[in-house]
Amino acid sequence: MSDRVYLTTPLYYVNAEPHLGHTYTTVLVDTVARFNRSMGREVVFQTGTDEHGDKIAEAAAAGNAQPRQYADRVAGIFRDTWDECGISYDHFIRTTDDYHVTFVRKMLARIHEKGDIYFGKYGGNYCTGCERFYADRELVDGKCPDHLVEPVWIEEENYFFRMSRYQNQLRQLLDDSPDLIRPAGYRNEVLGLLREPLEDLCISRPKSRLEWGIELPFDDNYVTYVWFDALLNYLSGLEHCRPKDSEAFWAEANHFIAKDILKPHAVFWPTMLLAADLPVYRHLNVHGYWNVGQSKMSKSLGNVIRPLEMRDRYGLEGFRYFLLREMVFGMDSAFTEDAFVTRFNADLSNGLGNLVSRVLAMQKRYFDGEVQTGGQRRPEDRELAAAFSEAETRAVEATEGLALHNALEEIWKALAATDKYIVETAPFKLWKDESAHTRVGTILETLCDALLHTARLIAPFMPETAARIGALLGVEIGPLAHPTPMWGKNFRKGHRVSEPARLFPRIETET
Ligand code: ME8
């Protein structure tokens, strides 16, 4: 891995407010960004909003607003939500930003000059939800498989991107870089699409039908919107915020999306880049869908999960933990409040939270909070250190491979080893024997070391919890790039830790 990485979320449509699905991708990329920073890499993390097109114009009209006014309001809600959730993005882009509009027009002109954009007449089945045409074979029972509605037949003169010309090059690219699209299941899906002839891509709308888009540089009667507009954000935003070294970041571009927008990202986008003589991104990382219970999340079903409501009810850290622990990257997951509460109580309240308060309580009770340094280590102490060292190696490897749920599982194995260490060394029993007090001090110092290691490992996943544990221990939590804190060397003589605190009060449910 290079020392620079560029990480992106999709640009979310402003016709809906942030929900569980948007939050998952954003929290996932935030975690990957924090992890990479902790590994000593320089990160650019970009998110933002997709604001042009029919859907947005319709939503604005429904609320009696001008599209721009409406987009300003909802883009603000997205940005504020991510700020309130502590998302560590470096750049927030809106497709209505001037620099982006200029960039899109420049790319359109370049590809048009090359002869890869032509004018033609076309009729086809259009899904407004997806903002793209569907070939008959892609429809299921005549309906868009994603939105389950019949597409509308649209026939008009428009501009087309000669995508078909790049079919072989794209196939070659997928052969040359087997990990371009991850996990492999989605790569295979794309290879499947490429077995059929690739159609050209309609990239315009006449202004007579849609004004809310970016005017074509070569025909002011037409606008472009959605895909030819939005996909270019990944480059326009990077060049805008890193004008001097955007190429180096682009070489390590990692897009994160859900499977719903696989085709635009795996087919439209790389062929657009090939046509513009630009290098293709490094990885397209595709995750599955969150369903709510057995159903798709939807406004009409009234089962939309909103991030700030979850924060107010349970706290953000628990929500982050659940999302990252529960979803296997690439697979679908079901969200239920019951599953959330069960995991929260088991892993956070009884698990991590209980361990932290137990260790600090013993430290307080036996030594008035003062860490007893310099004691003799025993094999069981070294075994616990080894469990953490193994957890670190495995968690780092799993996170690099996007198996974040495995990374957390590995860290929780180290927590289980710590609980077992407490049971087996039994400091609360030893304390009854005065001659064993020195040993109890060493056991507790080992446990404080374990908490420090825990904080360091969970920091990308639960940054606030890691910071709280660091503050309770009264020590800096170093990044993963620094040498691992040495057991028995982290606390100076006379150092005091804080009084115990409850990090994750148990969620009581009415039964
Ligand atoms: O498609 N489960 O925007 P969008 C998991 N503007 N992830 C989900 C999800 C769910 N149930 N629902 C949404 C667009 N997402 C275009 C993208 S990019 C240049 C333009 C997440 O608001 C997931 O990341 O419909 C998905 O790919 C994205 O939101 C779609 O967001």
**pLDDT tens profile 398-444:** 999 999 999 999 999 999 999 999 999 999 999 999 999 999 999 99
User: Which residue in the block uniquely carries the two structure tokens 């060292």?
Assistant: 389
Residue 156 DSSP code = E
Report the alpha-carbon angle 181-187-191, nearest 5.
Answer: 130
Give the mean pLDDT of 199-226.
94
Is the CB of residue 297 below 6 angstroms from any atom belonging to ligand 1?
A: yes
Q: In what order do the strands lie in the sheet with 4-13?
A: 91-94, 42-50, 4-13, 253-258, 283-287, 181-182
Is the CB of residue 191 below 6 angstroms from any atom belonging to ligand 1?
A: no
Rounded to a whole number, what is the distance in angstroms from the first to the last CA of the chain?
50
**Residue 199 tokens, joined:** 């159609």
pLDDT in tens, 48-68: 999 999 899 999 999 999 999
> CA–CA separation, 48 vs 91, rounded Å?
8
Report the alpha-carbon angle 444-445-451, nearest 5.
Answer: 90
Residue 430 DSSP code = H
pLDDT at 509: 84
Q: What share of the chain is helix, strand, coil (3-state, %, to 5)?
A: 50, 15, 35
Give the mean pLDDT of 244-271.
98
Is the CB of residue 127 below 6 angstroms from any atom belonging to ligand 1?
A: no
pLDDT at 171: 98
Q: Whose CA is nearest to atom 23 of ligand 1?
A: 258
Q: Whose CA is nearest to atom 19 of ligand 1?
A: 231
Q: Ligand 1 pocket test: which of 11, 12, 224 has the largest number of ligand atoms within 8 Å of its C-beta?
A: 12
Indicate whether 395 pLDDT > 70.
yes
Whole-model pTM: value is 0.96
* Ligand 1 centroid – CA 87 distance (Å): 17
Q: Ligand 1 pocket test: which of 14, 15, 25 has the largest number of ligand atoms within 8 Å of its C-beta?
A: 25
* Ligand 1 centroid – CA 422 distance (Å): 45
Angle between helices 463-473 and 437-458 (to 10 degrees): 150
* Ligand 1 centroid – CA 443 distance (Å): 49
* Ligand 1 centroid – CA 226 distance (Å): 13
pLDDT at 324: 98
**Residue 149 tokens, joined:** 């509605």
> CA–CA separation, 167 vs 248, rounded Å?
27
> CA–CA separation, 150 vs 145, rounded Å?
9
Q: Whose CA is nearest to atom 12 of ligand 1?
A: 21
Is the CB of residue 25 below 6 angstroms from any atom belonging to ligand 1?
A: yes
pLDDT in tens, 140-182: 999 998 888 999 998 889 999 999 999 999 999 999 999 999 9
User: Among 299, 257, 345, which residue's Cα sits nearest to residue 24?
Assistant: 257
Indicate whether 135 pLDDT > 90.
no
Is the CB of residue 444 below 6 angstroms from any atom belonging to ligand 1?
A: no
Per-residue confidence at 1, pLDDT binned at 50, 70, 90? Answer: low
Residue 218 DSSP code = T
Q: 240 in helix, strand or coil?
A: helix
Facing residues of 32 across strands? none
**How many percent of the chain have pLDDT more than 90?**
90
User: Among 240, 226, 239, which residue's Cα sits nearest to residue 268?
Assistant: 226
Facing residues of 496 across strands? 370
**Residue 92 tokens, joined:** 């927030």
pLDDT in tens, 92-125: 999 999 999 999 999 999 999 999 999 998 889 9
* Ligand 1 centroid – CA 37 distance (Å): 25
Facing residues of 46 across strands? 8, 91
Q: Ligand 1 pocket test: which of 107, 254, 261 has the largest number of ligand atoms within 8 Å of its C-beta?
A: 261
Q: Enumerate residues 6+ apart whose C-beta is below 8 A from 107.
A: 232, 272, 276
pLDDT at 129: 85
Is the CB of residue 22 below 6 angstroms from any atom belonging to ligand 1?
A: yes
Give the mean pLDDT of 372-385.
97
Indicate whether 380 pLDDT > 90.
yes
pLDDT at 299: 76
pLDDT at 511: 60
* Ligand 1 centroid – CA 24 distance (Å): 10
Give the mean pLDDT of 343-350.
98
Is the CB of residue 50 below 6 angstroms from any atom belonging to ligand 1?
A: yes
> CA–CA separation, 352 vs 347, rounded Å?
6
Give the mean pLDDT of 301-314.
92
Q: Ligand 1 pocket test: which of 260, 273, 327, 332 has the largest number of ligand atoms within 8 Å of its C-beta?
A: 260
**Is residue 180 within 8 Å of residue 285, measured between CB atoms?**
no
Is the CB of residue 194 below 6 angstroms from any atom belonging to ligand 1?
A: no
Is the CB of residue 290 below 6 angstroms from any atom belonging to ligand 1?
A: yes
Which residues belong to the active site?
Answer: 19, 22, 127, 130, 144, 147, 296, 299
User: Among 35, 25, 42, which residue's Cα sits nearest to residue 411?
Assistant: 35
CA atoms within 13 A on the CB side of 287: 30
Is the CB of residue 261 below 6 angstroms from any atom belonging to ligand 1?
A: yes
* Ligand 1 centroid – CA 45 distance (Å): 17
pLDDT at 300: 75
* Ligand 1 centroid – CA 258 distance (Å): 6
Question: How are beta strands 253-258 and 4-13 bridged, if at all?
Answer: parallel
Give the mean pLDDT of 493-503.
97
Q: Which atom of ligand 1 is nearest to the CA of 16?
A: 22
Q: Where are the alpha helices (DSSP H) in 316-462?
A: 316-326, 337-343, 354-367, 379-400, 404-425, 427-430, 437-458
pLDDT at 296: 83
Q: Where are the alpha helices (DSSP H) in 120-226?
A: 167-176, 184-193
Angle between helices 404-425 and 354-367 (to 10 degrees): 30
**How many percent of the chain have pLDDT more than 70?**
100
Q: Whose CA is nearest to atom 18 of ligand 1?
A: 10
Is the CB of residue 258 below 6 angstroms from any atom belonging to ligand 1?
A: yes
Is the CB of residue 11 below 6 angstroms from any atom belonging to ligand 1?
A: yes
- What is the average pLDDT value for the chain, to the nearest integer? 96
User: Among 292, 315, 441, which residue's Cα sits nearest to residue 378?
Assistant: 441
